[in-house]
Amino acid sequence: MTQPIILEVQNLSRSFGKFQALGGISLKIPKGKLCALIGPNGAGKTTFYNVVSGRYRPTIGKVFFEGRDISGLPSHALVARGLLRSFQVTNIFPALTVRENVLTPLAVMRGLSFSFLGSMARRPELVDEAEAILARVGLRGQSHRVVSTLAYGDKRLIEIAIVLACQPKLVLLDEPTAGMNPEETDRMIRLIKELSDKSEITFFITEHDMKVVFSVAENIFVLNQGTLLAEGTPDEIRSNREVKQAYLGGSLDAASH
């Protein structure tokens, strides 16, 4: 049975003055399938994510989420529909505790004010939900630590926890292992795989680290100079001659094993 499509992009283009950053991209992301977007520096990956996540309006083309046209809708409207993006730079509250960072989106999703954090005892069910989310991302027992005191890798895990608290259907993960050491990278790979396998959330990642991409992705899309160069399974992409040339012949092979 064919998987339903959660995200579809049709003939998507984005220009900045006379410069065309994206030119006529069309692709589909099946629900529940972990896909990746890769490409050399300057290929248009960030612009693509900015258009899909509502930061930029498309110059031409359409973006559909769960079959509905979301082209040009602002980011906050997309979050409410279940389409979220996590950024390369951690987007967290360093002065709050780990638990408070997760309680904040839980409260917002329920229409509660930020003053809720001062009276958490009145809503123990939200505290329990926050603790369950922290356990899912491997931060059990860290609830009362102030975020600014944590290691970089743990801060990235908190960002994932914040995304989970928003009850996403589709998550755009923008360079989830950027700046991590090898141990932190392996932990993030395991987490992404587990969340993809054990939840109904669809993940669409962009990454420079080819080891990460070929470890987690079921399907890979390759951008080059603002256009879609190739798409396929990891094996198909690894052996694609045009993709190898875009990555200056050989660096893709070296990074993906």
Quick check: pTM over 0.75? yes
> pLDDT for 53-62, tens place per residue?
999 999 999 9
- pLDDT at position 108, please? 82
In contact, 140 and 171? CB cutoff 8 Å:
no
> pLDDT for 80-95, tens place per residue?
999 999 875 567 899 9
- pLDDT at position 255, please? 47
Question: Within a 13 Å sphere around the CA of 215, how many CA atoms are in the beta-carbon half?
Answer: 19
Residue 32, number of CB atoms within 10 A of its CB: 16
Give the CA angle between residues 164, 213, 155 to the nearest 5°: 40
In contact, 159 and 170? CB cutoff 8 Å:
no
Query: What are the structure tokens assigned to 130, written together?
Result: 């926050």
Domains of the chain plus CATH, in order, are 1-82+168-257 (3.40.50.300), 90-166 (no CATH)
Q: Give CA separation, 6 vs 10, 32, 84, 89, 95, in Å.
A: 13, 8, 13, 26, 36
Taking the C-alpha atoms of residue 11 and residue 25, their distance in angstroms, rounded to an integer, is: 5
Residues of the chain with pLDDT under 50: 250, 254-255, 257
